[in-house]
Structure 1
Amino acid sequence: MLEELTCFKAYDIRGKLGEELNEDIAYRIGRAFGQVLVREGGELGSKTVVVGGDVRHTSETLKNELAKGLCDSGVNVLDIGLTGTEEIYFATKYLNLAGGVEVTASHNPLDYNGMKLVREDSKPVSGDTGLFEIKHLAELNEFADVDIKGALSQRSNLPAYVNHLMTYINAENITPLKIVANSGNGAAGHVIDALELLFNELNIPIEFIKVHHQPNGDFPNGIPNPLLPECRQDTSDAVKKFDADMGIAWDGDFDRCFLFDETGEFIEGYYIVGLLAEAFLQKNAGAKIIHDPRLTWNSIDVIEQNGGLPIMSKTGHAFIKERMREEDAVYGGEMSAHHYFKDFSYCDSGMIPWLLVAELLCVKNKPLSVLVKERIAAFPSPGEINSAVKDADLAIERVLHKYIDLAINVDRTDGISLEFNTWRFNLRKSNTEPLLRLNLETRGDKELMEQKTNELLEIIRS
């Protein structure tokens, strides 16, 4: 009987160390991924996969075993060292490689690790694009004999990556800014250091206040996950203490960034989507912008006001990236702080968003609080609210029974979205937990927002 590898999820690989993910499994994943790439064409040794890892203590060992498995399958491996996930995305495309793997558990607990895989052009490897085939091969643990093993090499790709980041802004637009950068003891620090050196060389007047800057796999200041309110205080305090113009905090592999205004107030990711859409449309007139279905009115309003075309996609990086390629969209944003960019191989980045927002602050000559305050007032939302339920489908049916006849529009792109004249909501099941996730917004009516939120939660949780 096959051993089931439970570390394989819908979009990536992650699991508890020892029991779900270990050195042997990492090796088998490397063999399986390499075998799939070799089978798809090309001579042995003609294909190269780039690998990197985050700061967790197990990432280096898992990465080495993964690389060994890839080499034993006949694939060359380029190890670019300590990286964030987006550095693997960039290297795969920039160096024209067959694929890439980042060893990371992002914001998961200390006793977890995982992997994120991409193919050529940094196309995602998920359940329906090869991940489950890799899972099956790794579970079988029976691999084809290889006459010529791949070679392992090591080098940094940081300078090329940092130079690419600079292409998203016009350096001449930047006026003096003081920015708090909280790396959370994760992988972001070395990129901030490299940007700081480049800023100094180019006389770009951005000053960094560095918080929890040094990489540390023990995460002495807590697992970096600014989506949790308890992980935001240090960034907020530093913004206020140093009178900064903006604060940034990243998760462990920095594919998401979270922004704080000059008062230290955390800004919900939903409103950042609108800011970035505006920034892109100022440079790309009439462009298409992808948004997710959970909260939409602010994004649609900003995009249409700035002459763009809003397009809705199902939530999730594989869906967003695929839709962006189909539509040739310049930017895609999710309220969960994942932001995707056409010129970044349609991949998500935690560095490009804050650079664009920093430039927007300078161009508009307004503080960040002012830029988002109008939008929050126009379309208030309580943020995503999770409810643990015994029967998610039954709870959704109760909600539909109450509201469907009153709705002026019903959409099932992702869960259920019901729209009314002055408010709307989206209710969807979690892909990984027995939770229902509620998102709601109104047209400028905070009192209605609170009333409808309480009303819905009572039905969901009853």
Structure 2
Amino acid sequence: MTTALRCFTAYDVRGRIPEDFDAHLARRIALACAAFFSMRKVVLGQDMRLSSPEIVEAMTAGLLARGVDVIDIGLCGTEEVYHAVFSGVDAGVDGGIIVTASHNPAEYNGMKIVRREARPVSNDSGLREIAAMAGDEKWYQTLCAQPAQQGGFRTVMASKKAYIEHLLGAVDCRGMRPLKLVVNSGNGCAGPVVDLLAPHLPFEFIRLQHQPDGRFPHGVPNPLLPEKRAATAEAVRAHGADLGIAWDGDFDRCFFYDENGRFIEGYYIVGLLATALLTLHPGATILHDPRLTWNTRELVTAAGGVPVMTRTGHAFIKEAMRAQDAVYGGEMSAHHYFRDFGYCDSGMLPWLLVCQLMSQTGQPLSALCDARMTAFPVSGEINSRVSDPDAVLARIKQHYRDGSMDYTDGISVEFPAYRFNLRASNTEPVLRLNVETRGDVELLERKTRELLDLIRS
């Protein structure tokens, strides 16, 4: 009998503990991954959630019993698993799993899975089949009934030296100015990595919510939510800092505040990083998501690069990164992907590169972003819970039928002075709206209200 598992999304595993996801199910999923991808050596890591150690132990026991070697890197961010996998190809590493639910509340947990070379696993590349195997009781019982193999070996890899060296090798540390930085880990996993980087950088760090704590004493670590931004912003102003940086729980997303404590939308950081990387890689391809596009495309084209739009979501962007051999890809949601980081997303490289750019130009982040924010003001992502997302999308399509339409992800509609993207959530009956204009704040506000009235009516 095969059971449908609610914890599987389009590109990861995530669910409430223990109703939707627990240690026993995690063990089955790990075994299904190993079987489907013929994995013989797997990297395992975990975030700070209180349920993570038990889950990792169950996965480890299951894999070892089936003869799969495990490299346990302990408490870490998602990108540390990516790094251990793509840098471990010559050592026979076949894939990796981090136990994390990213920015979800404390009662959730889940898994992000990659195969050899840290290639993503999504519904289009095996996740659907893994879900079917893990939910198939007959398959699992047959596997358990097979004769015991020679046990796998577990290696505990506590050192982060190679990973830290990789990060530092991406920037010119000697050219950095002595900046004062507010860093807010949200009691997630970023703090220990910041502490390892700090001795190599001429920065003064003001540390907030720094220690990993799965109880989330300061709430859910998700700076994309406006209500989660005040602590960082206030600390930047109080300490006269040059920059504020915040992360989500597994620090695969990185968020910025300028020297005035103003939150900078991830959209503008995409254009900033794309331009910086094009000076090192002239003519390179830059990927971006469909939600907000004009600023990125204008900057990339002006810098001699090739902008390419791709579907939203880390698994899809990583696949496109490899196919296009793109040097960089960015999402407005603060995911940033780098060819020199195994085509994977990193929450540490963006702030190091922004600090390098500020050091090279002598300009604060506000000066680097202000003109672009004026040229292309945005609404920010606005969520609306609706009973029938497909019906609303059809209504919007009909109402704005005179615009130029694109269906890369949801629906994007473009007019000469404004454009918008409306897309459905993968996991709940929610529509996500983003609007931008060509320098017209009044038009932005009017069109945003108009769209929300149509969506919510």
Give the Å deviation of 1:136: 1.8
Query: Once the two structures are superposed, what CA deviation does each residue of 1:292-343 show, in whole Å capped at 9, x if it has no partner?
Result: 1110000001111211110010111121111111111000000111111101
Q: Given the alignment of the two structures, is residue 394 of structure 1 paired with residue 391 of structure 2, yes or no? A: yes
Query: Are the structure 2 counterparts of residues 62 and 403 from structure 1 closer, same or farther at C-alpha, using a change threshold of 3 Å?
Result: same
| Equivalent pair of 1:34/1:74 in contact (CA under 8 Å) | no
Q: Secondary structure at the match of 1:413?
A: coil
What are the equivalent positions in structure 2 for 1:301-312 lying under 5 Å apart? 301-312=298-309
Over aligned residue pairs, what C-alpha RMSD do you find?
1.2
How far apart, in 2, do the equivalents of 1:62 and 1:165 lie? 29
State which drifts further: 131-140 or 425-434: 131-140
Give the Å deviation of 1:143: 4.3
In structure 2, the residue matched to 1:415 is 410
Give the Å deviation of 1:125: 1.2
How far apart, in 1, do the equivalents of 2:48 and 2:224 lie? 20
Q: Given the alignment of the two structures, is residue 25 of structure 1 paired with residue 25 of structure 2, yes or no? A: yes
Match of 1:57 among 36, 42, 50: 50
| Equivalent pair of 1:30/1:68 in contact (CA under 8 Å) | no
How far apart, in 2, do the equivalents of 1:398 and 1:10 lie? 25
Query: Once the two structures are superposed, what CA deviation does each residue of 1:3-46 show, in whole Å capped at 9, x if it has no partner?
Result: 332212211111111121112112212222222233x7xxxxxx
State the percentage of identical aligned residues: 54
Q: Given the alignment of the two structures, is residue 276 of structure 1 paired with residue 273 of structure 2, yes or no? A: yes
Match of 1:177 among 176, 179, 186: 179
Query: Once the two structures are superposed, what CA deviation does each residue of 1:111-167 show, in whole Å capped at 9, x if it has no partner?
Result: 111010100000011112112222222222234324222111101241100100012
Query: Once the two structures are superposed, what CA deviation does each residue of 1:202-234 show, in whole Å capped at 9, x if it has no partner?
Result: xxx211111111111111111111011111111
How far apart, in 2, do the equivalents of 1:371 and 1:33 lie? 44
What are the equivalent positions in structure 2 for 1:74-113 lying under 5 Å apart? 74-96=67-89, 97-113=93-109
Q: Secondary structure at the match of 2:264?
A: coil
| Equivalent pair of 2:270/2:296 in contact (CA under 8 Å) | yes
Q: Given the alignment of the two structures, is residue 166 of structure 1 paired with residue 168 of structure 2, yes or no? A: yes
Q: Secondary structure at the match of 1:68?
A: helix
Q: Given the alignment of the two structures, is residue 218 of structure 1 paired with residue 215 of structure 2, yes or no? A: yes
Q: TM-score, normalised by structure 1?
A: 0.95
How far apart, in 2, do the equivalents of 1:23 and 1:410 lie? 45
Match of 2:191 among 189, 192, 198: 189
State which drifts further: 332-341 or 380-389: 380-389
In structure 2, the residue matched to 1:241 is 238
| Equivalent pair of 2:80/2:163 in contact (CA under 8 Å) | yes
| Equivalent pair of 1:32/1:143 in contact (CA under 8 Å) | no
Q: Counterpart amino acid of 1:349? A: S
Q: Counterpart amino acid of 2:57? A: N
How far apart, in 2, do the equivalents of 1:143 and 1:135 lie? 17
Query: Are the structure 2 counterparts of residues 37 and 411 from structure 1 closer, same or farther at C-alpha, using a change threshold of 3 Å?
Result: closer
| Equivalent pair of 2:173/2:200 in contact (CA under 8 Å) | no
In structure 2, the residue matched to 1:330 is 327
Q: Secondary structure at the match of 2:150?
A: coil
State which drifts further: 444-453 or 390-399: 390-399
Q: Secondary structure at the match of 1:57?
A: coil
State which drifts further: 16-25 or 373-382: 16-25
How far apart, in 2, do the equivalents of 1:404 and 1:3 lie? 42
Q: Secondary structure at the match of 1:436?
A: strand
How far apart, in 2, do the equivalents of 1:185 and 1:321 lie? 27
Q: Counterpart amino acid of 1:373? A: D
| Equivalent pair of 1:34/1:73 in contact (CA under 8 Å) | no
How far apart, in 2, do the equivalents of 1:169 and 1:94 lie? 19
How far apart, in 2, do the equivalents of 1:166 and 1:354 lie? 12
In structure 2, the residue matched to 1:142 is 141
Moved over 4 A (4+): none
How far apart, in 2, do the equivalents of 1:170 and 1:143 lie? 54
Match of 1:346 among 339, 343, 347: 343
Q: Given the alignment of the two structures, is residue 115 of structure 1 paired with residue 103 of structure 2, yes or no? A: no
| Gap regions ≥5 residues in structure 2 | none
Q: Counterpart amino acid of 2:433? A: L
In structure 2, the residue matched to 1:362 is 359
State which drifts further: 294-303 or 427-436: 427-436
In structure 2, the residue matched to 1:251 is 248
How far apart, in 2, do the equivalents of 1:32 and 1:456 lie? 44
How far apart, in 1, do the equivalents of 2:11 and 2:27 lie? 20
Give the Å deviation of 1:197: 2.2
Q: Counterpart amino acid of 1:185? A: N
| Equivalent pair of 1:88/1:100 in contact (CA under 8 Å) | yes
State which drifts further: 410-419 or 53-62: 410-419
Query: Once the two structures are superposed, what CA deviation does each residue of 1:364-395 show, in whole Å capped at 9, x if it has no partner?
Result: 11111111111010000111111122222222
The count of aligned residue pairs is 448
Q: Secondary structure at the match of 1:168?
A: coil
